[in-house]
Amino acid sequence: MDKISYDTVDEIVHKAMLPNGLTVYIVPKRNYSKTYGVFMTNYGSIDRKFVPIGEKEPIVVPDGIAHFLEHKLFEKETYDVFSTFLRQGASPNAFTSFTKTAYLFSATENMTENVETLLDFVQDPYFSDESVEKEKGIIAQEIKMYNDLPDWQALMGTIRNMYEKHPVRIDIAGTVESIGEITKEHLYTCYETFYHPANMVLFVVGNVDPEQLYERIEQNQQAKSFPEKQTVKRYMPEEREKVYRSDVTIHLPVQVPKVAIGIKGKIREQHGEEMIREECIQSILLDYFFAESGLYYEQLYAEGLIDQSFSYSSTVEQSFQFALLQSNTNNVTSFQDRMQDLFQQISDHAIEESLFLTMKRKQIGEYIRSFNSLEFIANQYAQYQFHGIDLFKIPDIIASITLDEVEQYVKQWITNDNVTVCKVMQE
């Protein structure tokens, strides 16, 4: 295994690539009692059009299939995955995002056994017609539950406003109608295409011996056979720069209306440092203007336009990106108008160097504090490495961002055509 040292954050990562293409990362944390493992594939809900392995022509699969597949991998013909983990003192879970699917566990004992269980259940698919039909009812209930959540509907409503064709506009779980089309053949096709070890990462962090653990992982994988690695051909539709819709209202039984504002990023495929650099610049600017210590937060709060629910975030992926600001507010129109006025000011605003440095230090500090969380390290490191980004180098990247760089970015960040509003209100 290669040993990578990070002096800035005092971390050591052991890395190796197995002959089947699986990349393994192990981070020893001797002072921790807990160990956390994640087995992640570079496959998410947006991957709906692709060329299956062994085929020549692209297909389009039903929406929500990545999430459906995540559920079904826990079901086995001869054993219960959850019972196995629990018997070994571990707590398992999984998640599907727009771009990734991950299977994970946390435990304080039987680390090697739990890592092998994680590998074994994900690499042993079992789907039957009967179990697929049964799962449709379970996931349909989950979809209906999310349809009633104001925060989730505000997020998806804003994304649908921004994107006309990109599959990020489709709910991760799909719709009741789309999951009704899923068959076991669909599941096997997606599994065989996207769950090859070469398209996956295993990351383990905690109180483990890297060499001993890696030896067991290596033995586990050598005992299994996989087809030759092939590059997956994925298709994403062309998307215009401007937002699809500027405004939408969703009616739900909410006590206080919620307003979400999206800033659609430029459409371009990014990799590596360029991608994380843009995300960090956006985060610095959001902090600069809208953090509690920023320029505008106190004004908005004093005017009664926002409350403690106010939040903001930046999302930068290879094929889509956006910033999101949202708050509960009893003054929907006034909040919307005020934010529009502030956005016009932002484009021409001269960034104060002292406040810029404060926000940059804040972001570096937040990253370094996050390294105390095993879950954060594993999930973020695994996700970023698919894009050629090293999580432990991000504090250095943030430190290298210059005032001139941010000033140039803010001039083109917000335009009349790339801002949209989603309101969630009582009927």
- Maximum CA extent, the chain: 65
Q: Kindly state the tokens that stand for 318.
A: 């290879």
- The upper half-sphere exposure of residue 325, i.e. CA atoms within 13 Å in the direction of its Cβ, equals 26
C-beta of residue 59 within 8 angstroms of C-beta of residue 52: yes
- SS3 category, 89: coil
391 contacts: CB under 8 Å, gap ≥ 6: 377, 380, 381, 384, 385
Q: Kindly state the tokens that stand for 116.
A: 């092998």
Q: How far is CA 423 from CA 153, 168, 211, 327, 344, in A?
A: 9, 19, 53, 10, 21
C-beta of residue 62 within 8 angstroms of C-beta of residue 179: yes
C-beta of residue 11 within 8 angstroms of C-beta of residue 27: yes
Interhelix angle 150-162/129-147, nearest 10 degrees: 90
Please name the amino acid found at residue 278. Answer: E
Q: Cα(33)–Cα(106) distance, rounded to whole angstroms? A: 11
- Active-site positions read 70
Pairing between β-strand 419-425 and β-strand 258-264 as defined by DSSP bridges: antiparallel
Q: How far is CA 43 from CA 170, 178, 194, 199, 229, in A?
A: 15, 18, 6, 8, 15
Q: Cα(35)–Cα(375) distance, rounded to whole angstroms? A: 9
Q: Cα(407)–Cα(396) distance, rounded to whole angstroms? A: 20
What's the sign of the alpha-carbon dihedral 50, 54, 57, 59? negative
Q: Cα(242)–Cα(264) distance, rounded to whole angstroms? A: 8
Q: Kindly state the tokens that stand for 237.
A: 């539709």
80 contacts: CB under 8 Å, gap ≥ 6: none
Q: How far is CA 338 from CA 343, 345, 420, in A?
A: 9, 11, 14
Q: Cα(94)–Cα(186) distance, rounded to whole angstroms? A: 20
- SS3 category, 273: helix
Q: Cα(33)–Cα(107) distance, rounded to whole angstroms? A: 9
